[in-house]
Structure 1
């Protein structure tokens, strides 16, 4: 047994996750009732990540701000611009794909128990109110905009404190980072439980009737991940971007696909940034911020499902309105929560652009929840992996402009 554990631990984490994935699929398809208890592993894994992520972000950001030296530049401006541009381009790709491959839906009963936001102004107001949320409440509810805001303020407040105080904050941050590494080591068991639960609960039959819709949704996300993002990456690093792109998809996108939560994947992304040798002062802020505003997958979901409703109702859409939808879906996506299904509640907001009544739009949301077992997983994988990708290319691009030789290490133990 000891030798077996030694061989198991010698495998890379990705290989161990694939083993857990395969076992979960086999058990869900063959003996779903006898092994239903293994779903607890998935719940524990996601719960542990969600529990530690808010306080990890709080201490990392506070440590980075308090220890920041005057004159040291970060890449946050470039990263935020990449987040916004990437989200808009994803929405634009989804609109173009929806025109090329129009989808119609069979609308049934609405989802009456969920209240969507009333408009873009309401989404922006919610974002601003989250900034001034009670700090304890922000930590409790995993409100990352509020956590970031208070961590920055507190970091600035103790910037002039004694070095021992700053060292204590850094020690807490390092301790939390080590706890995250321990949790991530349990990812194979967690993934096994999550995939078992998804297949055993929802099955694959319910997705067959929405095959064309899923093809457009997933096709757009794959196109953005493997075509649009690499082009953006090449512009910054001026070398083959696929090694970095595929590393982000493998190391970050894989776990995000099964946790279905950008917020839960924050510790995974921070660990990946550390492996890539990125600046801790930058990624400790950019990764949690990306989990909130970098929502390319959400922009795709909003655009595709909204235009599917438009096609179903026979509404004519001109180029100007389609472009406006791309912008609206990007802005709306920035307000999508980093949890499973967060983007679906913003569909009524985009649908209102075409005069679609709220009750019909909520039926589209219902369709979104049906295909969500695949759509939401792929959406989160794209969102979360892109957080790391854009953080990395902004830093590597800065090094290239400074005349440094950029060597991107993507081979990890």
Structure 2
């Protein structure tokens, strides 16, 4: 048994996750009733990630800001620009895809017990109110905008504190990071439980009637991940972008696909940034921020489903309105919640651009929940993996200017000439 455990631990985390994934699929398709308790592993894994993420972000950001020295460079400005550019480009690509492959929906019953925001102003108001949220409440509710705001303020206030105080905060940060590593080691069991629960509960048959919609949604997300994002990476680092793109998709996207929560994937992204050798002062802020405002997948979902509703109702969409939709979906996506299905409640907001009644828009949200098993998983994988991608790209671009060597795991990007 000891030798078996040693061999298991010698495997890379991704290989262990793949084994867990395959095991979950086999169990769900063969003996779903006999092994129902397996699903608890998924709930425990996601629950552990969600519970540690808020306090991890709080102490990491506070520690990084308190120990930041004047004149020390960070890349936050370029990272935020990349986040916003990527989200807008995703909305634009989704609009183009919807024109090339128009989708119509079979609308039925509406969605109950959900309340979408009334407009862009309400989305922005909610964001601002989250900034001034009570710190204890922000930690309890995993309000990352509020957590970031309080961590930044406390970090700034502690810049002149004694070194012993800063060391204590840093020690707390390191201890929480170690807890995260322990949790991530249970990812194979967690993924096994999650995929088992998804297949055993929902099956595949319920998705077949929405095949065309799923193809447009998932196809657009893959195009964004494997074509548009690599172009953005290449423009910045002037080297083959795919080693970095594929590493982010593999190490961050896989877990995000199954957890379906950008917030739950924050610890995974932190660990990946550390592995890439990035500056902790930067990624401790950019990763939780990205989980809130870097929402390329959400922009795609909002645009595709809104235009599907317009096509279904026979509404003519001109080029100008389509461009406004791209911008609106990007702004709305930045206000999407970092939890499963957060982008769907913003669809009525985008539908209002075309005068689509709210009751019809909520039926479109219902369709979104039906295909959400796949759509939301792909959306979160794109969102979360891109948080790491753009954080790394910003820093690597700076390294390129300074002539430093850039190494992406075992796939090196040769030293700049």
TM bracket (short chain): over 0.9
Which residue of the partner structure matches residue 170 of structure 1? 170
Q: How far 1:404 moved relative to its partner?
A: 2.3
Gaps of 5+ in 1: none
Which residue of the partner structure matches residue 140 of structure 1? 140
Which residue of the partner structure matches residue 24 of structure 1? 24
Which residue of the partner structure matches residue 84 of structure 2? 84
Question: 1:361-393 CA distances to partner (integer Å, 9 max, x unpaired)?
Answer: 000000000000000000000000000000000
Which residue of the partner structure matches residue 293 of structure 1? 293
Which residue of the partner structure matches residue 232 of structure 1? 232
Question: 1:98-123 CA distances to partner (integer Å, 9 max, x unpaired)?
Answer: 00000000000000210000000000
CA distance in 1, matches of 2:30, 2:402: 57
Q: How far 1:87 moved relative to its partner?
A: 0.2
CA distance in 2, matches of 1:407, 1:5: 31
CA distance in 1, matches of 2:27, 2:291: 32
Which residue of the partner structure matches residue 359 of structure 1? 359
SS in 2 for 1:210: helix
Kept in 2: contact 1:97–1:220 (CA 8 A):
yes
Which residue of the partner structure matches residue 312 of structure 2? 312
Spell out the pairing of 1:138-287 with structure 2 (5 A cutoff).
Answer: 138-287=138-287
Gaps of 5+ in 2: 413-417
Kept in 2: contact 1:255–1:265 (CA 8 A):
yes
Kept in 1: contact 2:104–2:309 (CA 8 A):
yes
Question: 1:191-234 CA distances to partner (integer Å, 9 max, x unpaired)?
Answer: 00000000010110000000000000000000000000000000
Question: 1:299-334 CA distances to partner (integer Å, 9 max, x unpaired)?
Answer: 000000000000000000000000000000000000
Change (3 A) 1:183 1:222: same
Which residue of the partner structure matches residue 338 of structure 1? 338
How many aligned residue pairs are there? 412
Which residue of the partner structure matches residue 129 of structure 1? 129
Question: 1:144-168 CA distances to partner (integer Å, 9 max, x unpaired)?
Answer: 0000000000001111000000000
Which residue of the partner structure matches residue 347 of structure 1? 347
Kept in 2: contact 1:91–1:327 (CA 8 A):
yes
CA distance in 1, matches of 2:23, 2:249: 21
Q: Please, what TM-score do these two structures have when normalized by structure 2?
A: 0.98
Q: How far 1:399 moved relative to its partner?
A: 1.1
Change (3 A) 1:209 1:256: same
Q: How far 1:80 moved relative to its partner?
A: 0.3
CA distance in 1, matches of 2:403, 2:256: 35
CA distance in 2, matches of 1:138, 1:236: 35
CA distance in 2, matches of 1:300, 1:343: 10
